[in-house]
Structures are given as structure tokens and as C-alpha cells.
Amino acid sequence: AVVSTQSGHYGRGLIIVIICAASAVAVVPLLPGLQDLFVNAMHYDPRSRLFVGLPDKEAHFNLIQEYYGRTQKKTLTWSVINTMVDGMFTNDYRDLGRKK
């Protein structure tokens, strides 16, 4: 079968666009500044009885508010939540086995 060069260029272009889109979908959620748009909950080591299951921002907010007192929900990003949760534990228990 004879394929014209013009359709061959379209095919290559389409493949490049698909690869770029797939790469963006895979990489963008990993960027620290965009985590709040993609992370729904955290998973902790099951030995940590403070967080059971997959606590979302609401569960973290409630716990942080109980521990620290006044906090503003609109300023809680996942990086702030991680820092505040780490501050709740001594160095002996700091490794919570946290996964996004």
C-alpha cells in the first residue's frame, strides 16, 4: 500500500501528541505545587492508630484543629498538613509510613 508523505506526517504528529499528553498526565500530579489538585487522601502505616484507612483533608483538619487549636481550613495544603502531622510526633515515632 502506498502512503502519502502528508498522511505519514499526520500519523507521526498524532503519535507525538499522544505521548506528550500521556507524559503530562503522569508527571503533573507529582509536582509539589499541584498536589492539592490531585491528592485525595493519605495512607499511613497500619501500626499508626491515629489515622485509620485513607484520611482525607477533612479528617486531617479535624485532628490538627484538636491538637494545635485554631487553624484555618483554607490554608491547609498537603505540604502544611504533612509538616503539622510530623510536628505531632517525637523523633521515635516520626516515620508514619505515609503514602499519597
Instruction: Indicate if the pLDDT at residue 23 is higher than 90.
Output: yes
* CA-to-CA dists, residue 24 to 19, 27, 29, 32, 90, angstroms: 9, 5, 9, 14, 38
Closest CA to 36 of 81, 1, 6: 81
Amino acid at the residue 6: Q
Judged against a pLDDT cut of 60, whether residue 78 lies above it is answered with yes
Q: Which pTM was predicted?
A: 0.54
Residue 56 · residue 40 · CB < 8 Å: yes
- For residue 14, what pLDDT is reported? 92
Q: How confident is the model at residue 15 (pLDDT cuts 50, 70, 90)?
A: very high
